Amino acid sequence: MAPGFDMQYFHLSIIMNRTLRRAPTVGGRPAADKKSTMKAEVTAVHTPMMRQYLGNDYVLFSGFDEMSGQAIISGADGAIGSWMNLFGPAFMKVDQALRDGNIKLAHDFTRVFCSEITPIMSRRASFMSLMHHGMKLKYGIDLGPGRSPFHIGDVTFTDDQVSNLIDKVNAAAEL
């Protein structure tokens, strides 16, 4: 987090139903005495609404990795997500390519990324097992034991499976 920035985390239902309706406002928008950062887990379709409501006093991050391109096109300043831990360089390259007008790269990357992670995300234990294995294999980082219910030890991946996934996603980002 950048110095001088407050981080606020919201889910759209919380924003619309409670939090922002009760927040102090100036000109109909949440009052911010300094630049604030918001991670909003909203779909890309809601990002323009959030940007219009919040104005430029907030840095708005999407909370969905698989929709980061759509969120940026829709007005988000960036994205924060779990998969970005494993694929940070790929996401950063695609983010910049999109901002530079290379829609094809962002489109192709999103299609490959989503097709690769969908089977893993269908079971939360697969995601956590893969993330642990991938971070260790790619960066040498041991994430330590997970906590239930997010880390259930009955799903395992081989080095080859994890390496192949990393290679496919990185190739889609032209890394």
Residues in CB range of 140: below 8 A, 6 or more apart = none
> What tokens appear for 10 in the block?
């919201």
- Conformation bin of residue 147: beta by default, left when phi > 0, alpha when psi is -120 to 50: beta
Q: List the domain boundaries for the chain.
A: 1-81, 103-175
* Preceding omega of 149 cis (within 30 degrees of 0): yes
Dihedral in degrees, nearest 10, Cα atoms 106, 73, 60, 63: -50
Residue-level pLDDT, tens digit, the chain, 175 residues: 444 555 554 544 444 444 444 444 545 555 554 455 556 555 556 777 777 777 777 777 777 778 788 888 888 888 888 888 899 999 999 999 999 999 999 999 999 999 999 888 877 678 888 888 999 999 999 988 766 666 656 678 899 999 999 999 999 999 9
Q: What is the pTM of this model?
A: 0.74
